[in-house]
Amino acid sequence: MNDSEIRIQLLKDLVEAQKVLEEKLETQDQMIKRFQALTANEGLFVQIIDYFPYPIAVFSSNGMLEVVNNALLAEVGVSDRKMLVNRLNIFSYSSDIAAGISDAIKRVLAGETIFLFDLKDTLKTLGESYGITGRGLPACQDAIFFPITDNDGKVCNAVAVLINQQG
């Protein structure tokens, strides 16, 4: 293969990789928009959060974990929400893992949507500091962090949706 053919092949590979990434981001963007639209009906919203098949955590503007769903509780092996809710503050951690999540939450509270890929042992590491030794999440996962606004359009919460990677 000559240089010209190699460049053409690399360009084709790059275009294909970009296409796959754009499709993934579009799917995630659609999920976020649907999720935000559901916040208008609080009762339905709470039920959807609880039964959503991916682990979800909702953080307040001060970093305190306010809501977790059934999938998150099952993944970390915790049956009582009180072990996590209003006890875990993401801004009080100093580990590298927590720093990345803490930074994402701060950016979301400023209005951004953040995608983190290939997180390693995220909740396991955070939970261990609270004595939670459940089965933990898979070794690798992706996360989508997005803002929830109040009626005035002000960001009031940051939502994290964890997506387990297959493999």
Residue 135 is part of which domain span? 3-164
Looking up residue 153, the CATH number of its domain turns out to be: 3.30.450.20
Q: Tell me: pLDDT of 38 over 70.
A: no
**pTM, 2 dp:** 0.69
Q: Tell me: pLDDT of 143 over 70.
A: yes
Mean pLDDT over residues 105-128, rounded? Answer: 79
pLDDT in the model for residue 135: 55
Q: How many CA atoms lie within 13 A of 9 on its CB side?
A: 6
Q: Tell me: pLDDT of 35 over 80.
A: no
Q: How many domains does the chain have?
A: 1
Q: Tell me: pLDDT of 40 over 80.
A: no
